[in-house]
Structure 1
Amino acid sequence: MKKLFSLGAALVISAASAASLTGSGSSFVYPLFTKMFSEYAKATNDTVNYQSVGSGAGQKQLKDRIVDFAGTDVPVPDADIASYPGKVLTIPDALGAVVISYNVPGVDTTLKFSGPVLANIYLGKTRLWNDPAIAKLNPGVKLPALPITVAHRSDGSGTTGVFTEYLSKVSSEWKSKVGSATSVEWPTGIGAKGTDGVSGVVKSTPGAIGYIELTYALNNKIDYGTVQNRAGNFVKATIAGVQAAAASVVMPTSGIVSITNATGANSYPISTYTYAIFYQDQKYGNRTQAQAAALKKMLNWVVTTGQTYNEGLYYAPLPASAQTRARAIISTMTYGGAKF
C-alpha cells in the first residue's frame, strides 16, 4: 500500500508541475509550431496550444492579454506598439519565404517574375498573361491572352505584410498608393481567408496568381515561379536562398530585421524572419511567476533545440547570431520588475 501511495503522489506532483501555455497568430509558422510544440510536450510534459488565426489577430490577442505569446511575420508597427498595456519583446524564431503560385493552362515551364512586374499585376495595371512585360522575362514561353485573376488574403496576415513590404521596396507606385501592412486596400483581385483560401482560388481559377508560404507550397506540391533578385538573378525559393538573404544583414539588438529584397547573388528576394512576441514584464492579470517561467523556458527551447525541426518542414533555422540575440532578449524578461 505504501508503494502505491508513493506512486500516486508522484503522479499528482508530476501533473501539478506541468505547465500549459497558449499562443496564436501567424499561419506562416503554424506547421513548424505544431511540430515543435508536439516535441516540446514529449520532452517537458508542458503543453502549448497555438491557434493559427493570422498575424494581425495574434497581435490583437496579445494586446488584449488573451494569450501568453503571439506569432507574427511582421513586427508590431511602431504606431501601434505604444497602445499596448506593457512593453512588448520580439524575438526571431524561424526563417521562411513567400512564393508566387499561378495557374496558366498550357504553360508547364517555371515562369519568371520581377518585382516591378508583380507590383503592376497586383496594382491591376498588367491584366493579361501575354503582356509584353511578362513575355520579356519569359522568352520562348507561349503565354496565352488570358486575363490575370489576382488572389490575395482577406484576413490580417503576416504573409501579406511580407509580400507588400517587398512590393513597396521594388515599386514606388505601390509604396505610395498601397503601402505595406498585414491588411491593405487591394487595388484589384479576389480575397480569400488563409493560405489555403488563396491557394484554392489559384487552383480553381485558370489565369489566377497568388502569394503563399514556401512551406505550404512544398507540402502541398504546388509549383511556383522564380523571382528576380537585386543582383538580377532569377531565384526559386529554397532554404539556401532564404539563408543567403538572412546572411546579407546583421541582426540588430531589437531582434527585428527585414530581409526582403536583400543583396547577394543567391538571395531569394521575398524571404523573411518570423517572430514571437510577448510582454517583457510577466506580472499582469492573474499570471503567476511559475507561468512566466514556463513561457521563458519554452521560448529558449524554440530558438535553440527547437530549430532542429525547421528544415524538415521547409523553414530555414536561425543563424547562430540570431539565436544569440533571441536568447539575450528573452533573458530581459521580468516578473514584477525583477528578473527571474
Structure 2
Amino acid sequence: MAAAFALVAAALVAPARAEPIRGSESTFAFPIIAAWSDGFLRDRADGGDFVSNDAGVDYEPVGSLGGIMRLGQPEIDFAASDAPLSPAETSKRGLAQFPIVLGGIAPVVNLDGIAPGRLKLTGGVLADIYLGRIDRWNHSAILELNPDLALPDLQIGVVHRSDGSGSTLTWTRFLSRTSPEWRQQVGADTLVAWPRGAGAKGSSGMIEAVQRTKGAIGYAEFGQVQRSGLVFAQVRNHAGAFVTPGPEAFAATARAVRWDPAQDFHADPGEVDAAGAYPLTAATFILMHKRDRSEGRTLRTLYFLTYALDKGSKEAAALGYVPLPEDLAGAVKDYWRASLPGGAGL
C-alpha cells in the first residue's frame, strides 16, 4: 500500500500536480459525485499527503450514454453510467466496470393535494400513460389503484429524457417487463422513440419540466425528486406489492442481486422479484480503461473512489443514495487489484 500511495504522491507533486481527475458522468449520479469531490478535497487538506488542494475531480454530467462515449477521449479518466455494459462489450473495449453507489428512479408528478408516496401506479398504467392510452388523471385505471385519493380531471403531461440516459434504460426496462404493448412498440434502451410527450435533458431538466406543468409526469433519481418537493409515487413490484421508493427499499433490492466480478458486476437490480424489492432500483457503475491510461492516473482515480467507498457513506445517505454493502465494496476493491494498472498495490 505504501508503494502505491507513494506513486500517487509522485504523480501529484510533479509539475502537473494540479491536474484534476476527469470524469464524464450520468446525471443520476451527479449530486453524489459532486459531494464526494468536495469531501475528497477536504479530506486531503486535513491529511495533506497525496493530493494538492486544487487537484479535485472535474466532471461533466452528460448522461450515461454520453459519459461512456466520452471515455474514449484521452483526457477522461472515468465514466459513470447507470446503464452497465455487457461483459462482452467491456472486454471488447478493454474496460473495467464496477458499481460505486446505489439508488432508484421514482415516478414524479405535479399534482396538488397529493402527499409524496401516496399515489400508487403500476408498470402497466405507466406504460399506457406513456403510450397515450391513458391521458387524464381521473382515468378509471388510475382511480381503481387509488380509491382514497381525489384525482383531478386533468390532462397528463408526459415528460421523458431527450438524452441517452441510464435512467431511461431503467424506466423502459420496467415498462417492457410489465407491458407487452410497450415491449413490442417501444422496447428498452438508453434512447428510445417515445410515442408522446416532451423531452427534457438531464435529471434536473426532467424535474424542472415537471415543475412547470400541472398534471405532468416524469421519472428521475429519487434523491433529486425528494429535494425538489414534487410528489413521487409508489410502484407495484414484480411480486405484486406496492413499494415506496427510498433508501431502505433500494438497499433491500441490492442485497438480493448477484454481483459477479467475473462478469464485470453486470447486473440489473430491476429484475429482483422479492416481496420488498423496488423495481426501479438502479446502480451507478464506474468504467475505467484497463490499458490506455497511465498507472499514476489510474491510481489517482482509484484513490478518489476509495474515499467514496470508505468515507462517502454519509454523503450518499444524505442525498438519498445507498452506499454499497460492505461485502460488495470489498469485492469491488479486490476487482481493482486484479484488473487495473497499479491496483495490486492498493
Q: Distance in 1 between matches of 2:232 and 2:275?
A: 20
Aligned residue number for residue 52 of structure 1: 61
Q: Distance in 2 between matches of 1:25 and 1:16?
A: 23
1:147-190 deviation line (CA, Å, top 9, x unaligned)? 21110111111111111122122222222221221111111111
Aligned-pair identity in percent equals 32
* CA contact 2:66–2:164 (8 Å) conserved in 1: yes
Aligned residue number for residue 88 of structure 1: 95
* CA contact 1:59–1:76 (8 Å) conserved in 2: no
* CA contact 2:103–2:321 (8 Å) conserved in 1: yes
Structure-2 change in CA distance of 1:334 and 1:316 (3 Å): closer
Larger RCO (CA under 8 A, 6+ residues apart): 2
* CA contact 2:87–2:266 (8 Å) conserved in 1: no
Q: Distance in 1 between matches of 2:250 and 2:167?
A: 15
Q: Give the C-alpha shift of residue 112 in structure 1.
A: 0.6
RMSD: 2.5
Question: Quick check: 1:265 aligned with 2:275?
Answer: yes
Shifted more, 15-24 versus 93-102: the winner is 15-24
SS at match of 1:197: helix
Q: Give the C-alpha shift of residue 274 in structure 1.
A: 0.9
Question: Quick check: 1:274 aligned with 2:284?
Answer: yes
SS at match of 1:89: strand
Structure-2 change in CA distance of 1:294 and 1:214 (3 Å): same
TM-score by length of 2: 0.85
* CA contact 1:19–1:291 (8 Å) conserved in 2: no
Q: Give the C-alpha shift of residue 203 in structure 1.
A: 1.6
Q: Distance in 1 between matches of 2:37 and 2:206?
A: 26
Which consecutive residues of structure 2, in runs of 5 or more, have no partner in the other structure? Answer: 1-11, 45-50
SS at match of 2:338: coil
Q: Distance in 2 between matches of 1:104 and 1:43?
A: 42
Aligned residue number for residue 97 of structure 1: 104
Q: 2:253 aligns with which of 223, 245, 257?
A: 245
Aligned residue number for residue 301 of structure 2: 295
Q: Distance in 1 between matches of 2:315 and 2:343?
A: 33
Q: Give the C-alpha shift of residue 93 in structure 1.
A: 0.5
Q: 1:167 aligns with which of 169, 172, 175?
A: 175
TM-score by length of 1: 0.87
Q: Distance in 2 between matches of 1:326 and 1:183?
A: 29
Q: Distance in 1 between matches of 2:114 and 2:309?
A: 41
Q: 2:204 aligns with which of 196, 208, 231?
A: 196
Asked which structure has the greater CA Rg, the reply is: 1
Question: Quick check: 1:30 aligned with 2:40?
Answer: no
Q: Give the C-alpha shift of residue 134 in structure 1.
A: 0.7
Structure-2 change in CA distance of 1:221 and 1:48 (3 Å): same
* CA contact 1:255–1:322 (8 Å) conserved in 2: no
Q: Distance in 2 between matches of 1:334 and 1:205?
A: 47
Structure-2 change in CA distance of 1:339 and 1:242 (3 Å): closer
Q: Distance in 2 between matches of 1:290 and 1:258?
A: 32
Q: 1:74 aligns with which of 76, 79, 83?
A: 83
Letter in 2 for 1:175: R
* CA contact 2:111–2:231 (8 Å) conserved in 1: no
Question: Quick check: 1:227 aligned with 2:228?
Answer: no
Aligned residue number for residue 20 of structure 2: 20
Structure-2 change in CA distance of 1:53 and 1:13 (3 Å): closer
SS at match of 2:231: coil
SS at match of 1:99: strand
Letter in 2 for 1:69: F
* CA contact 1:303–1:326 (8 Å) conserved in 2: no
